[in-house]
Amino acid sequence: MSPGLEAGFTLDARLEADSEQLMWLGLCELRVMNDRRWPWLLLVPQRPGAEEIHDLTPLDQAMLTFETNMVAQALKSVTGCTKINSGALGNIVRQLHVHVIARSEGDPGWPGPVWGHGMREPYQRSDLRRFAQQIKAAL
């Protein structure tokens, strides 16, 4: 069993297909969304059945906030972006996950949301590895 993986937890197939595992944090698996248009990370709390933040225990809620802030700071320092967008939407993928996205003026879709904007542009494997290493170093 991977570090942090709670018994009975299974990653949603859509999250697995659209993103790559980066590392394990205390509560969450940190993943990179495989879309090079935006530096985009996902935190997935390893709690079976969690769909909403309020489904987590108070301690897990605090840990999720801490890990989200830590990841947001690392992403901002790596990218030098104008704005960090964070959110737990879950309208399509119900499993609780938090998006942390670096946004800057002039990026595709600025200032609108990233969802539903054009077609996903997967990373080259070497670029994904480089981005992952930068994030790990910043954490």
List, for residues 88-139, the tens digit of each pLDDT value.
Answer: 998 999 999 999 999 999 998 899 999 888 899 999 999 999 999 999 999 9
- What residue has token string 């399509």? 92
Q: What is the pLDDT of residue 117?
A: 87
Instruction: Say what percent of the chain tops pLDDT 70.
Output: 96
53-91 residue pLDDT tens: 999 999 999 999 999 999 999 999 999 999 999 999 989
> Model confidence at 8, in pLDDT bands (50, 70, 90)?
confident
| pLDDT surpasses 90 at 3 | no
Q: Max Cα separation, the chain?
A: 43
Q: What is the number of other CB atoms lying within 10 angstroms of the CB of residue 91?
A: 6
Between CA 27 and CA 43 the distance in angstroms is 9
Residue 124 CA: distances (Å) to CA of 35, 48, 79, 104, 127: 10, 32, 18, 21, 5
45 versus 8: the higher-pLDDT residue is 45
Between CA 20 and CA 30 the distance in angstroms is 9
For the question of whether the overall pTM of this predicted structure is more than 0.85, the answer is yes
On whether the 13-138 domain is CATH 3.30.428.10, my answer is yes
